[in-house]
Amino acid sequence: MMQSVAAQRAAQLRAEIERHSHQYYVLDAPLIPDAEYDRLFRELQALEAEHPELSSLDTPTLRVGGKILDGFAPVRHAVAMLSIRTETDISDGGALAFDGRVKRELEQPGAEIEYICELKFDGLAINLRYEKGLLVQAATRGDGESGEDVTQNIRTIRQIPLRLKDCAAPVLEVRGEAYMARRDFERYNEKQRELGLPTLVNPRNGAAGSIRQLDPALAARRPLSFFAYGLGEVQGWALPATHSGILDALAAFGVPVCAERAVVRGAAGLVAFHQRVAEKRDALPFDIDGVVYKVNSLALQAQLGFITREPRWAVAHKFPAEEQLTVVRDIDIQVGRTGKLTPVAKLEPVFVGGTTVSNATLHNEDETRRKDVRIGDTVIVRRAGDVIPEVVGVVLDPSIPQGERKEEYRFDLFKRLGGKCPVCGSHIVREAGEADWRCAGGLFCPAQRKQALLHFASRRAMDVEGLGDKLVEQLVDGGLIRTLPDLYRLDLATLAGLERMAEKSAQNILNALEKSKQATLNRFLFALGIRHVGETTAKDLACYFGKLDAIMQATPEQLLNVPDVGPVVAQSLVDFFAEPHNREVVQQLRALGVSWQEHEGTSGQVLPLTGKTFVLTGTLPSMSRDEARAKLEALGAKVAGSVSKKTDFVVAGAEAGSKLSRAQELGVPVLDEAGLVDLLSELL
């Protein structure tokens, strides 16, 4: 490139990068996906490498992290917080290149090096300083030399021990990543959407915002988690010989360390880990953007040393990005099971998070208006885990003045639909205090009918294997099914006559339908698709009343006696069963042979474990976790997913992880399988 052109481009890139880092680090409101930022950053790095004369002291490539916010005291790191190099090749080649470099630097071309593989957590780097075992300070990375004192906010992360177990070293700095679990992110956004308030862009942004939130009470509203991956300053503690030894020791001190780590040998070991994690990525409870390989021996690490600010003994090997830019071709409106109208962006197909995405949810009208997404806009799309892809925000073309985006073209759901359901033409309503518009057509609306059937047949409801999208579509569109009971009136000839159905598959569906008739009260109740009655509420109701008729006849006051049932749920149940059509559906389903065991219920009577909360973790030697859960629930216990002060017992099996350490930290009694069996037999 010509010198003057290069200089111009460099200046342009610096300005862009500065603008985006300010948006990201200071305002917590990124305008472009990380991958796009990285691309700009790498382009500038490459340009400066090619034209060293262009480098200047104010170039963003010379600074590691963000800017220090006003309001937090600065902390000078005793040992600089470095970053790691990212392999640019995201195929297996990345692992091979790293292994090759390590062996070359060590002058051991034929050796099989031992590595530790970890996940690359997508959050915010934090340094936790423990003195004599006590947490005295927590700091962000900042520019690597100094960060911000965020001790107060870090204390709200309940997984982080305030005191180390069995470690009184004068100084032990633990480094790791504070992150927001996907569930916590989804829950927070769900609540914000209901309130019509801004949502978080992604979990990492949520973590950054939460930690740099000046009010610790607000920070605590956005729950974070933590995983340790290394050390800072250490005094008075004899280091193990390996990095894996360090992580094991930290775990023993009660610091959360991710169980998803492995000591492997050679490039083949790195590749195998990368592949294994890539397959699991969607199922993980948190976002990762890749894996990290580290030479395991500390002696070899020392021999390898650093180049500028990056260790030669570690590297990040990334996965495909979970956020990408694309263009909105159209905005469709989909009708859900309860008539909820969801705006969905039809996108120029884009490869994101490992698959090609062409639809992304915009959630609801307010959200779409707030983000101001319009047809033709360039948007950031996010797809992470098994969550539905969503439009995170719009990237406005800086060359078009804001004024050009006329208010009258802002998304307006009612206007767009002309006030009518796009599927059945019924009128649409949005009740006061509700975030969603709904089609008022009920089961008259084919879209609602399809969704209701799919829900009824789903695994956690009646579990009718093989009754999927395509089949339901044909059944409803062909007028073969109008109500739920019609499902059980299907015959072989009708089913076999459908597209893509042979006699055998038709028979399989009939068998599955027959099998589904042996239900349980809670599954049946859940399957009916009553608004606000999820799986847990259905269980609570079934357990409390024992009989369907008792639930159908219950008054709001009686329903409110059920633990965890509030006024909204109670009203929704009363409304549902007041509707003659719904009573008719129930009666017909029973007449067609759908049945379950009824019992006396617990209303009035208290089961031996009522009010007690259990958490199950790890693998029990002979019982599956589902069996243990069923036994406990039958005695009235609640089985929760995470350990808190309110947990009465933790039942731990082999390879129990952070839940067990949390229980020990809080002094919650821990049972093994034998202990659980003893307890159950005492009570039965």
If binding is defined by CB under 6 A, does position 125 make contact with ligand IVH? Answer: yes
Choose among 297, 290, 286: nearest CA to 273: 290
CB of 67 to ligand IVH, least distance (A): 15
How far apart (Å, rounded) are the C-alpha atoms in residues 474 and 469? Answer: 9
- For ligand IVH, the binding residues in 139-178 under the rule CB under 6 A are 177
Is the separation of the CB atoms in 488 and 594 below 8 Å? Answer: yes
Of 76-84, 408-416, 509-517, 635-643: span binding ligand IVH (CB under 6 A): 76-84
Which of 115, 411 has the CB closer to ligand IVH? 115
Which of 83, 474 has the CB closer to ligand IVH? 83
Count CB-CB contacts under 10 A for residue 622: 9
DSSP three-state, residue 307: strand
If binding is defined by CB under 6 A, does position 121 make contact with ligand IVH? Answer: yes
Which of 257, 559 has the CB closer to ligand IVH? 257
The two structure tokens encoding residue 518? 């042996």
Determine whether 120 is an active site residue. Answer: yes
User: Concatenated DSSP letters for 626-643?
Assistant: HHHHHHHHHTT-EEESS-
Of 22-30, 79-87, 527-535, 588-596: span binding ligand IVH (CB under 6 A): 79-87
CB of 144 to ligand IVH, least distance (A): 10
How far apart (Å, rounded) are the C-alpha atoms in residues 302 and 439? Answer: 66
Of the candidate residues 144, 216, 245, 311, the single one contacting ligand IVH (CB under 6 A): 311
How far apart (Å, rounded) are the C-alpha atoms in residues 667 and 660? Answer: 10
User: Concatenated DSSP letters for 370-418?
Assistant: HHT--TT-EEEEE--TTSPPEEEEEE--TTS-GGGS-GGGS--HHHHHT
Which of 84, 440 has the CB closer to ligand IVH? 84
Of the candidate residues 10, 82, 551, 668, the single one contacting ligand IVH (CB under 6 A): 82
Which of 120, 631 has the CB closer to ligand IVH? 120
If binding is defined by CB under 6 A, does position 298 make contact with ligand IVH? Answer: no
Q: Which helix (H) or strand (E) holds 265?
A: strand 262-265
Q: Which helix (H) or strand (E) holds 419?
A: none
CA 239 to each of CA 234, 259, 302, 378: distance values in angstroms, whole numbers, following the listed order: 9, 21, 13, 51
If binding is defined by CB under 6 A, does position 390 make contact with ligand IVH? Answer: no
CB of 315 to ligand IVH, least distance (A): 10
CB of 65 to ligand IVH, least distance (A): 8
Of 114-122, 185-193, 231-239, 457-465: span binding ligand IVH (CB under 6 A): 114-122
Count CB-CB contacts under 10 A for residue 153: 27
CB of 662 to ligand IVH, least distance (A): 21
Instruction: Output Rg (C-alpha) for the chain, integer angstroms.
Output: 29
Count CB-CB contacts under 10 A for residue 339: 25
How far apart (Å, rounded) are the C-alpha atoms in residues 265 and 254? Answer: 28
CB of 136 to ligand IVH, least distance (A): 21
How far apart (Å, rounded) are the C-alpha atoms in residues 617 and 161? Answer: 20
Q: Residue 538 CA to chain centroid, in angstroms?
A: 24
Considering the candidates 67, 103, 120, 517, report the single residue annotated as catalytic.
120
Amino acid at 522: N
Q: Return the sign of the alpha-carbon dihedral for residues 249, 254, 257, 261.
A: positive
How far apart (Å, rounded) are the C-alpha atoms in residues 154 and 139? Answer: 9
DSSP three-state, residue 227: strand
Amino acid at 1: M
DSSP three-state, residue 498: coil
Which of 239, 674 has the CB closer to ligand IVH? 239
CB of 38 to ligand IVH, least distance (A): 12
Of 78-86, 432-440, 538-546, 638-646: span binding ligand IVH (CB under 6 A): 78-86
The two structure tokens encoding residue 190? 């769900």
Q: Return the sign of the alpha-carbon dihedral for residues 631, 637, 639, 644.
A: negative
Which of 95, 663 has the CB closer to ligand IVH? 95
- At 405, give phi and psi (nearest 5°): -85, 85
DSSP three-state, residue 160: coil
Choose among 453, 459, 460, 594: nearest CA to 519: 594
- For ligand IVH, the binding residues in 173-192 under the rule CB under 6 A are 177
If binding is defined by CB under 6 A, does position 120 make contact with ligand IVH? Answer: yes
Which of 229, 411 has the CB closer to ligand IVH? 229
Q: List for the chain the helix, strand, coil content (%; round to 5).
A: 40, 20, 40
Binding mask 312-351 for ligand IVH (x = CB under 6 A): --x-------------------------------------
How many residues lie near ligand IVH (CB under 6 A)? 13
CB of 229 to ligand IVH, least distance (A): 4
Which of 290, 393 has the CB closer to ligand IVH? 290
- For ligand IVH, the binding residues in 255-294 under the rule CB under 6 A are 292
Of 4-12, 34-42, 116-124, 656-664: span binding ligand IVH (CB under 6 A): 116-124
CB of 25 to ligand IVH, least distance (A): 12
CB of 376 to ligand IVH, least distance (A): 36
How far apart (Å, rounded) are the C-alpha atoms in residues 355 and 322? Answer: 10
Which of 122, 367 has the CB closer to ligand IVH? 122
- For ligand IVH, the binding residues in 519-548 under the rule CB under 6 A are none
Length of the chain: 684
Which of 304, 381 has the CB closer to ligand IVH? 304
Of the candidate residues 16, 48, 87, 118, the single one contacting ligand IVH (CB under 6 A): 118
Of the candidate residues 229, 411, 456, 649, the single one contacting ligand IVH (CB under 6 A): 229
CB of 259 to ligand IVH, least distance (A): 13
Of the candidate residues 209, 230, 269, 441, the single one contacting ligand IVH (CB under 6 A): 230
Note the residues at the interface with ligand IVH (CB under 6 A).
Answer: 82-84, 118, 120-121, 125, 177, 229-230, 292, 311, 314
User: Which positions are annotated as active-site residues?
Assistant: 120
